[in-house]
């Protein structure tokens, strides 16, 4: 058994959760904080058989891969002047950091 720990952006977390459910893979979502542009990250804990690790990583990659996104300028009312961007910009969103750990024992009660 392996434990896959995946740190993804909040905006990708419901897509990843749905894709894991569709593949019959059980996961636990942890609340987490921090990340780009003050958006939050979500951490998934996924226990899986050794021979399904590649499938799990493929699902994570498909659900969360880094991509460009155009961000419309925000009103200066809702943001500090310092962070005000007066024109649309491309920002990189998505992406996932994935750790695979060995599980010595696995139990369900």
Q: What is the DSSP string of 42-81?
A: EEEEEEE-GGGHHHHHHHHHHHH--EEEEEPPPPGGGS-G
Residue 36 lies near a copy of itself (rule: CB under 8 A): no
Q: Residue 20 binds which one of a copy of itself, Ni ion, none, with CB within 5 to 8 A depending on kind? A: none
- Report if residue 87 touches a copy of itself, rule: CB under 8 A: no
Q: Tokens standing for 30?
A: 């942890």
Distance CA 30, CA 54 (A): 22
How many residues sit in the footprint of Ni ion (CB under 5 A)? Answer: 2
Binding site for a copy of itself (CB under 8 A): 1-3, 5, 7, 17, 26-34, 41, 43, 45, 47, 53, 57, 60-61, 64-66, 95-109
């Amino acid at each position: 058994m392996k434990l896959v720990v995946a740190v993804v952006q909040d905006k990708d977390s419901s897509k990843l959760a749905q894709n894991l459910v569709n593949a019959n893979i059980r996961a636990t979502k942890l609340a987490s904080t921090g990340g780009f542009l003050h958006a939050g990250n979500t951490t998934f804990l996924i226990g899986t058989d050794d021979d399904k690790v590649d499938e799990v990583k493929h699902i994570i990659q498909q659900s969360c891969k880094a991509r460009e996104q155009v961000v419309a300028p925000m009103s200066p009312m809702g943001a500090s002047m310092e962070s005000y961007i007066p024109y649309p910009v491309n920002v990189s969103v998505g992406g996932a950091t994935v750790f695979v750990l060995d599980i010595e024992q696995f139990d369900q009660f």
